[in-house]
A and B are shown apart, each in its own frame.
Chain A
Amino acid sequence: MPHPQKPLAGFRILELGPYVALPMTGRILASLGAEVIKVETNKVLDEMNFIPAWSRGGGQPEFQRAKKRITIDVRTPDGMEVFKQLVKVSDVFMTNFRRNILDRWGIDFPELRRLRPDIILMWQTGLGGIGPYYTYKSYGILVQHMGGVSLMSGDEGDPPATINTSYSDYHTGVFQPVAIMGALLRRSLTGQPATMESSIFKSGAVTAGPALLDYQSNGRMPQRIGNRDPFSAPHGVYQCQGEDRWCAIAVKTEEQWSAFCRAIGSPGWCGGAEFSSMESRLANQDRLDQLVSEWTGTQTAEDAMTWLQEAGVPASIVSQGKDLYESDHLKARDFYRPTPFYLADRERPAYEWDHKEGIAASNPPKLSESPMDYGPYSNIGEDNDYIFKEVLGLSQTEVDRLTENQSLF
């Protein structure tokens, strides 16, 4: 029996745009077997090529692995012509540029549809491609505030609690593959293409979820209760031995409370009336948290977690980078894997960049029959020859001419 192809084998996806959400979508689709062509059009290298600054590019593979990477200056007439030829041979075009920028370059969705009538279009922006904010600029790390989550986090009266990342981008990044694969299936069954518009703002706002219903029906604003839980105690992070080391503990049931008490050596206070029911533990949780901290203060975070988990109590270290990098659990699951990267350098063309070795996370879902490809890692423009000559059929003379006039670079 012939071995079936990868899930998205035979589908070609054109990706135009930097940052987090869109490249993440591209990586997922590429890892499922699509030929994802990442078009880089900015001769002034965008900041993503340098992330993180201290590594000058070590963070790029996690966004770009398994893709073909090409360089076209779409602002030149010849470059635009090559871009349009790529549209004609693609099943999906996805971009995260705002309308004013697409207009400036002459990228117009109805025209793309004329070039390739059944193309699926995914247009992703920060705040929205249509509607009153359509020209508005945004930065990923700030959009988490717009979706409502930061004012549901932290303690009452504190500033909005920020997660130190472009958080809402990731929701968009993983929503989009679902939408794109759905649209491709729909096209194969009905012959109908689709144009879809998504934004980081909307993706973040969806996660406000039940709190939106509570406000509408009860007029209640989300409570900010830090690490506590409305229904259970002890519930929080407790300081352990070492610098900035913490163990999170969540005792949700009476059974877990008994197990917790046994695991910490059944101190006298555990049996007191103050803590004999969930109600009383909630009522006395300031005192309870103090007593739990006294115990965790005598433990390493790892030991506290292991003691409690072995007893059946939900508990975890607050993982730091070292913990993740050295984790036996993640190693057993082959989560982080070696990857090359290239030391980004504004003074030299990409093909002269130094080759380094780093690591990248693999794709989280483990599919038993068609595993997601970790894939190779291409440098900027590394796949120009393959795409221009083999996919588009341009001659060497033509590629030389376009390179000479800087349409390809």
Chain B
Amino acid sequence: MPLEAPADGVLLPPYRVLDLTGPEGVFCGKLLADYGADVVKIEPPGGDATRQRAPFINDEPSSERSAYFLFYNTNKRSVTVNIETPQGQDLFKRLVASADVLIESFPVGYMKSLGLDFDALKNTNSGLVMASVTPFGQTGPWSGYRSSDLISLAASGFMQITGDPDGPPMRQGNEQSHFPGAQYAAAAIMGALFYRDMQGGEGQHIDVSQQEAMITYYTDAHPALAWMQRSENVTRVGTNSTLVIPLGAYPSSDGWISAGIITPREWDNLSQWMYEVTGNEEILNDDYKGGNQDRAPFNDIITALVIDFTTRFTSEELFHQGQERNLVFIPVNTVSDLLIDPQLEASNFWFDIDHAEAGGLRYPLGVFDSEEVSPSSNPAPHLGQDNEAILGGELGLSETELSDLRSQGVI
């Protein structure tokens, strides 16, 4: 397949990616689209279900105003095809014939039931790279099980190590299950395209299990190894570590601040600063000196002293003044803080994107910054906005054919 070079200032060649994914894989297509791939979202004629997901821009429900849809579909195009009808399947296969990549996240077996599994599609296009992102993967005894954000957070063990040790396992907010599987799928797709275009290989199928992807997103907690080597289950430690003191989040005068004191020198710096501010000599006690886990026996008294100290400052003051003393204080941000953070401002993180219905908003797109390449900044597509260009222009369907398909509910 001839490879077209990326446009000036763009990272990826304009690979054609067909995106059939739901929430499990939607971030994969977004990442590829943000960095220059030509990602075409294939929606059922009524629109992707997440177009109806609240909240909406200006709280006005509309299929073009879902914050979720707008965020996860930047830089994609949209065509509508009902792949559950024979005509829709035929149309879809014609799109596959000229595509580089197909990503999907349907329940295992659904694509096969439509005759659109990889083995069938590779006959249409031997160079096709197809990635499936599903809760438990394509094989194994759990592969048919149903999931959701919460269920994937539970099955992977994320929840086992999130929250308070005295409370229930806790869900991470904002649907964190969307990221690991989708990110791995994007990396694997790049590998498969390398294999095809740089090494002379064929297309292939990529199977990504959300559960496995998420397990590797807390590798440094070593859950399976801890069981294997010492018959212990790693668990929740709450907001503050009970081993490394201080480590975690502490109240400040205007919110929360996180802190981590790991080395002996950091402790010396912090205890001296605490003494200067509070005048309490207790903190200089020689028993408390040392690194990493040496203060564990004195957790209660040291934590109380730390809170007496942190609550005398704003989070901003601790963040900057701490760094001046070579101490790691890190702000506990919420969305309003992120939008005015000077570091994000300085590193091409935000992109102003104007959407005909949703208006102008700042989107967080710049996962990396470069003078040579930059993300694109096109809004999420209107439903079916590219039907004419892609189904008409590329596949050559006439105005009459398009209108027939429309009236039959195929597009």
Contact = CB atoms under 8 A, between A and B. Distances in A.
Interface stretch (A183-191, A267-275, A383-391): A183-191
Interface residues of B, number: 160
Given A142-B260, A164-B236, A319 B154 contact: yes
Nearest to A190: B5
Interface stretch (A70-78, A126-134, A374-382): A126-134
20 contacts: A4-B195, A7-B192, A51-B220, A52-B225, A59-B219, A150-B332, A161-B239, A163-B161, A164-B161, A165-B218, A174-B187, A182-B190, A197-B370, A198-B368, A205-B338, A229-B150, A246-B169, A365-B206, A367-B192, A369-B192
| In the A-B complex, the 9 residue pairs with the closest CB atoms | A152-B173, A131-B346, A248-B154, A365-B188, A321-B223, A369-B204, A4-B201, A165-B218, A321-B227
Contact of B222 (A58, A145, A330): A58
Given A197-B370, A333-B139, A369-B204, A252 B328 contact: no
B159 A145 contact: no
Interface string B192-216: 1111011111111111110111011
Nearest to A369: B204
A397 interface: no
A370 B332 contact: no
B323 A137 contact: yes
B331 interface: yes
Contact of B206 (A160, A224, A367): A367
Contacts of B364: 205-206, 208-209, 212
B116 interface: no
A283 B149 CA distance: 22
A213 B222 contact: no
Interface in B50-71: 54-55, 57-59, 67-68, 70-71
Contact of A164 (B217, B234, B326, B344): B234
A315 B151 contact: yes
A214 B180 contact: no
Contacts of A218: 55, 57-59
A407 interface: no
B220 A166 contact: yes
B148 A314 contact: yes
Given A160-B249, A194-B370, A208-B335, A143 B330 contact: yes
B162 A153 contact: yes
Interface string B19-48: 000000000000110011000000000000
A409 interface: no
B191 A181 contact: yes
- Interface of B, helix, strand, loop or mixed by DSSP: mixed
Contacts of B86: none
A208 to B, nearest CB: 6
B140 to A, nearest CB: 4
Nearest to B212: A364
Contact of A146 (B232, B330, B345, B362): B330
B244 to A, nearest CB: 9
A13 interface: no
A145 B259 CA distance: 10
B333 A148 contact: yes
B347 A197 contact: yes
B290 interface: no
Contacts, number: 523
Contacts of B72: 209-210
A316 B191 contact: no
B136 to A, nearest CB: 7
B338 A148 contact: yes
Contact of B54 (A53, A221, A230, A312): A230
Given A214-B67, A324-B227, A367-B191, 4 more contacts: A182-B190, A205-B364, A206-B367, A332-B140
B184 interface: yes
Contact of A162 (B58, B157, B162): B162
Contacts of B55: 210, 214, 218, 220
B237 A162 contact: yes
A291 interface: no
Range of interface residues on chain A?
35 or more
A39 interface: no
Interface stretch (B6-14, B276-284, B393-401, B402-410): B6-14
B88 interface: no
A122 to B, nearest CB: 8
Nearest to B169: A318
A182 B12 contact: yes
A361 B333 contact: no
**Most interface-central of B3, B147, B173, B198 (chain A CB within 10 A):** B173
B148 A252 contact: yes
B229 interface: yes
B153 interface: yes
Contacts of A370: 191-192, 195, 201, 204
Interface in B322-353: 323, 326, 328, 330-339, 341-347, 349
Interface in A112-159: 122, 127-128, 130-133, 135-143, 145-154, 158-159
B366 A202 contact: yes
Contacts of A7: 191-192, 194-195, 198-199, 201
A96 to B, nearest CB: 13
Contact of A325 (B217, B228, B247): B228
